[in-house]
Amino acid sequence: MNKTALVTGSASGLGFELALLLAKDGHNLVLIDIDVEKLKEAKQTIESNFSVKVQVFAKDLSKINISEEIIADLHGTPIDVLVNNAGFGLFGSFWETDWKREEQMLNLHVLTTTHLTKLVLKDMVKRGSGKILNLSSLAAFQPGPLMSLYYATKGYILSFSEAIACELKGTGVTVTALCPGPTKTSFQKVVANDSSENKITFNMASAKEVAAYGYKAMMKGKVYAIPGKFNKLLATLPRFMPRNLAANIVRKIQEKNREE
């Protein structure tokens, strides 16, 4: 009997690439995204290439208590792999950015990720098996001026994942935090809220590369995974410099990325 994997934000980018890897390994899929048309395309692509069942649910994951709605829609289907991938960023000084959009980000990155993990985890522990992959970021390792809430929420996801991974030792269930650096997805367009692209393209990885690295780390049960040697180095730098200096460096990078 095939195992079932639930992937959020799975209509494109990293989520879709992770769904492909899960399907290749024979997992039936539950794909969740806000983009209805891309979800349909993802389902068609996966089912035409792999002998797995694919369910799709078009949902706004920033809604309060959306996790309970998702579990209800599953009608008792056990989830063997959970990938909390959905997320977005927002650029600008905190006092100028839109609160409604920031509230959606907080709900999605913190509340939905945490609640969905909690709802799925209990049954995983009872069965003595299960894998969870939470999408954090290289941003989790330092403060992020001009993207303050994005960096803060990714820091939360990393800390939360590491903590429950420790709690789960010996249960047969593992939790992995994937912390990629810059990745070629639609993320930057959403961050800038226009059609602008990264001005800094150095150290830019493809979604396929990052997904493969994260998937391998999840299957091995690693607690966290940072794709790329340079990114691993960057993650350690804040330990050896004043935090205000790290913040200033991040700000300069953000400004350079979005200069006219």
DSSP assignment of 20-43, as one string?
HHHHHTT-EEEEEES-HHHHHHHH
Sole residue written with tokens 């994260």: 214
83: phi then psi, degrees, rounded to nearest 5: -120, 110
200: phi then psi, degrees, rounded to nearest 5: -100, 115
Name which of 33, 150, 180 is nearest 89 in CA terms. Answer: 150
In this prediction, residue 146 carries a pLDDT of: 94
Contact (CB, 8 A) for 30 and 22:
no
What residue spans define the domains of the chain?
4-257
Please work out, in degrees rounded to the nearest 5, the angle formed at the alpha carbon of residue 2 by the alpha carbons of 31 and 108. 25
As a residue count, the chain comes to 260
In this prediction, residue 202 carries a pLDDT of: 53
Give catalytic residues, as residue numbers: 150
Q: Which CATH code for domain 4-257?
A: 3.40.50.720
DSSP assignment of 211-231, as one string?
HHHHHHHHHHT-SEE--SHHH
In this prediction, residue 195 carries a pLDDT of: 45
In this prediction, residue 187 carries a pLDDT of: 52
Q: How far apart are CA 175 and CA 165, in angstroms?
A: 5
Q: How far apart are CA 11 and CA 27, in angstroms?
A: 17
Sole residue written with tokens 């006092």: 95
Per-residue pLDDT of the chain (260 residues), as tens digits, is 789 999 999 999 999 999 999 999 999 999 999 999 999 999 999 999 999 999 999 999 999 999 999 999 999 999 999 999 999 999 999 999 999 999 999 999 999 999 999 999 999 999 999 999 999 999 999 888 999 999 999 999 999 999 999 999 999 999 999 999 887 765 545 554 544 555 545 556 799 999 999 999 999 999 999 998 888 888 887 777 777 776 777 777 777 776 65
Fill in the DSSP letter of residue 109.
Answer: I
Q: Around Cβ 91, how many Cβ atoms within 10 Å?
A: 19
